[in-house]
Amino acid sequence: MKNLLIATIFLLVNTIAFGQQVMPLYKDSIPNFIFTQDEETTTNNGVLIISKITRPMLTAYLPPKEKATGAAVVICPGGGYAVEAAGHEGADVAKELTKAGIAAFVLKYRLPNDAAMKNKEIGPLQDAQQAIKMVRDGAAKWNINPNRIGIMGFSAGGHLASTEGTHYAKSLIENGSNTSLRPDFMILVYPVISFQDSLGHIGSRDNLLGKNPAQEKKDYYSNEMQVTDSTPPAFLVHASDDDVVKVENSIAFYLALIHHHVPAEMHIYQNGGHGFGMHLPKNKDLWLDRCKNWMAANGWLKSSGVMKSITGM
């Protein structure tokens, strides 16, 4: 009860301060859902952590209309598919993006749970697909160009984002409108990419697929193996000394992108470890500034005629 009260107060304060819109991800029933008691908990001991998520939400952070560039990013916080670091890998990043005129949507995706899902391995991906669909369907009302919607992920959230970027063709949600589920670009920060024994983050793999998954499953969710010529462009950030998720995850994905002639940019820092969010602990370089430069260079931050191009006015 105490945790729920703290979470509610935190949500109200931040909603007032930053004008967020907190929305259920699904209007009606949640797909692949088994009814269970809501045991979601929130803690904040310097790092905001949400656990036991079974009811997904999407929180919109919108720039002023006059600053809107037309770009939007769905953000997937990390946490090994066990928890979600919703602050420094979620809300904090969203607020910074809005300063640059980028609409940001923090996804509180379901965490794999056999008691709450018929098939836990697809639950997070369903939520990522629904988030892209929801933002694209609501583009006009949020001053967004529907062709400038990307997905960002940190750590295991990077695995979810890269899974959405490589598995979008097979819809796992209700999509009668046939809305494209393909992100226009990916931003992957110290991402889990591979589920292979020698490279992957085994904790994330175990939480999503269970212990000792079949090799076929490892391959299917090893996203360096799922890149095609149609995979969205990507911006990758990692640290060489990351001792949680090997830097080779980003390198393998980058090489796969280049092999398929997909535009990609990668920044590997000498030091930084894992989980640094926007700020490297021993480096003044701001990777998010480099990311915004990359977005601008690829034409996703054009601000002129945003609403005109969307509404035809």
d(CA 132, CA 161): 11
- From residue 128, how far is each of 43, 106, 141 by CA, in Å? 24, 11, 20
Question: Which pLDDT tens digit goes with each residue over 36-70?
Answer: 889 999 999 989 999 999 999 999 999 999 999 99
Beta-carbon count within 10 A of 313 CB: 7
CATH code, domain carrying 192: 3.40.50.1820
Residues 114, 120: Cα–Cα separation, whole Å:
6
Question: Does the pLDDT at position 313 exceed 80?
Answer: no
d(CA 277, CA 57): 21
In a domain, 174, yes or no: yes
Is 78 part of any domain?
A: yes
Domain range for 228: 22-311
At residue 174 the predicted structure's pLDDT band, cuts being 50, 70 and 90, is: very high
In a domain, 2, yes or no: no
Q: Is the pLDDT of residue 2 over 70?
A: no
| Confidence band of 302 (pLDDT split at 50, 70, 90) | confident
CA 98 to chain centre: 16
Judged against a pLDDT cut of 70, whether residue 8 lies above it is answered with: no
Encoding tokens for residue 260?
A: 């398929």
* Whether the Cβ atoms of residue 74 and residue 43 lie closer than 8 Å to each other: no
Residue 233 belongs to a domain:
yes
Domain count, the chain: 1
Residue 6 placed within a domain: no
Is 1 part of a structural domain of the chain? no
C-alpha span between 129 and 174 (Å, rounded): 10
237 pLDDT band, cuts 50/70/90, is very high
Query: If you average pLDDT over every residue of the chain, what do you get?
Result: 92
Tell me the per-residue pLDDT of 116-157, one tens digit each, with 9 for 90 and over.
999 999 999 999 999 999 999 999 999 999 999 999 999 999
CA–CA separation, 227 vs 256, rounded Å? 6
Q: CA angle 167-217-250, nearest 5°?
A: 60
Report DSSP letters for 191-217, one per residue.
-----STTTS-HHHHHHHH-SS--HHH
